Amino acid sequence: MRIVLVHPNYHSGGAEIAGNWPPAWVAYLAGHLKDAGFTDIHFIDAMTNDLSDEDLTARLKDLKPDVVGSTAITPSIYKAERVLEIAKEVVPDALRVLGGIHATFMYKQVLSEAPWVDVIVRGEGEEIFRELIRTVADGRWPDDRASIKGLAYIADDGKIVATQAAPTVKELDAINPDWTLLEWSKYIYVPLGVRVAIPNMARGCPFTCSFCSQWKFWRDYRVRDPKKVVDEIENLVDNHQVGFFILADEEPTINRKKFIQFCEELIARGLPDKVKWGINTRVTDIMRDKELLKFYRKAGLVHISLGTEAAAQLKLDRFNKETKVSENKEAIRLLREADIFVEAQFIVGLENETAETLEETYRMAWDWQPDLANWAMYTPWPFTPLFQELGDKVEIFDFEKYNFVTPIMKPEAMGRAELLDRVMNNYRRFYMQKALFHYPWRGTGFRRRYLLGCLKAFLKAGFERKFYDLGKANYWGPQSKKGVNFNFDRTRKIATAQMEDWTAIHDRKVALEKSRAKLKDDDTGIVMACGGGSREQMEESREPAE
């Protein structure tokens, strides 16, 4: 049986400015399938290769697959739906499968607008997709589809059906990703000019930031054996010449003990001389590990993106960040002293954004002096608590624009074009001063080369008008504000079936809260992290690293 996996051709002008990112989902799914005996697997990276519909049509005609699978985050959902629509036209007998975070939570929306999708895999894909493929191979599809956990599909009577949710993958170390499917020469990290990978150390997050959906998708927090992760990285370095990797985890430092073990294993194998790496993490973890930061740098950790999120405590509290503004500044200082490049992330563009709050984020960024700063437009994922809270204030349902660079929300005090212009003004001022007075003169060797590489990435994206999708929005500077057009497709609406589902979820939530209120005095003694992880998973090692 031939399986073809397709990464949809979606571009936004956001994270892509730093390079082409290898789709890790393909490696993890394919590896798990191959371990089960399904070896005829092919991958089409339509995004990296910028394939047109005609190109994709030709590839599918040539491969003649029995199953076509694709995935989507929210902004790439229409491209993924189009992939499977093309599959229906070209190989109509092939089973068309869609996975990913958007389809997981918005399956009724997807099946309403794209009925040619045969089945949706809801949640972590490895075990669900493998069971689905086994069912197809045994000739039991579609008769036995209702018995497979974690699916959604349109039944014969036209109704949308979701089977019982599948359990999360408990044995993450049993997944052996197949990285050979990727065209490694095309995945380059621009700042260093080396190949880049995105391996996975842990899944889930015990924190429940109101703008984020990762903790909902992965559900419980699980960490792999650090030695297994380093085995994977060593394979990427030795066999695929990877020179930089970013851990895909939301916050790999949560489990302090295992993160230390991970760093120790990298050092023991001499890998920091061959590969550098970066992570996303929380300010609180940096404060906690301030005595270990130089040790982390010794392990090859050179770049940390900090979720500082806001310059105002009110916003931090609204985002449920559980951090303080003063801690942000201190964490950045500690990282600079440890010679770790630090990127401060700010979320802007909520309905209460003003010219003054945007100016405040700029002043804070310059005062804190991170090496890099990023102002991301608030993107109200339709399956997060903050989206529900915003209610009617969300007026754009063109999910292709939910990409962190397009202002989905319209602030009450300014228009979207002015919001974009003020954000670009923050970028211009910050990086112009950095380029003139900091990057060329601060530090030597690797530090100077890395910072100049980051500047090169920004300048390249700016020259090509790809940064922040500026070319598509017709933004050329302050003088072009009146001509800015975000090209929203306002015909896009939330499907009736999805609205009904949300209403049912809301009603269940209210009932659960009432039930919990009655039982609030019943202490079972079981301590759980707020995202569902156990206290043991969060346990910190107090032993210093050697």
Counting residues of the chain whose pLDDT is more than 70, the rounded percentage is 88
Query: What's residue 196's pLDDT?
Result: 98
Query: What's residue 384's pLDDT?
Result: 75
Query: What's residue 380's pLDDT?
Result: 87
Instruction: Give the residue among 252, 311, 260 at the shortest CA–CA distance from 278.
Output: 252
Query: What's residue 543's pLDDT?
Result: 42
How far apart (Å, rounded) are the C-alpha atoms in residues 1 and 479?
A: 57
Query: What's residue 461's pLDDT?
Result: 84
pLDDT digits (tens), the chain, 546 positions:
999 999 999 998 888 889 999 999 999 999 999 999 999 999 999 999 999 999 999 999 999 999 999 999 999 999 999 999 999 999 999 999 999 999 999 999 999 999 999 999 999 999 999 999 999 999 999 999 999 999 999 999 999 999 999 999 989 999 999 999 999 999 999 999 999 999 999 888 777 666 666 667 767 888 999 999 999 999 999 999 999 999 998 889 999 999 999 999 999 999 999 999 999 998 999 999 999 999 999 999 999 999 765 544 445 454 444 556 778 899 999 999 999 999 999 989 988 899 999 999 999 999 999 999 999 998 888 887 677 777 888 999 999 999 999 999 999 999 999 999 999 999 999 999 999 888 888 767 899 999 999 988 988 888 888 888 898 999 998 999 889 999 999 999 999 999 888 777 666 666 777 776 766 655 544 433 333 344 444 444 434 343
What residue type is assigned to position 262 of the chain? F
Query: What's residue 212's pLDDT?
Result: 65
Query: What's residue 544's pLDDT?
Result: 39
DSSP secondary structure string for all residues of 53-96: HHHHHHHHHHH--SEEEEE--GGGHHHHHHHHHHHHHH-TTSEE
DSSP secondary structure string for all residues of 450-505: HHHHHHHHHHHHHHTT-GGGHHHHT--SGGGGGG------TT----HHHHHHHHHH
Query: What's residue 185's pLDDT?
Result: 97
Computed from CA positions of residues 375, 381, 386, 387, in that sequence, does the dihedral angle turn out positive or negative?
positive
Query: What's residue 462's pLDDT?
Result: 80
Query: What's residue 519's pLDDT?
Result: 63
Instruction: Give the residue among 160, 184, 33, 138 at the shortest CA–CA distance from 504.
Output: 160
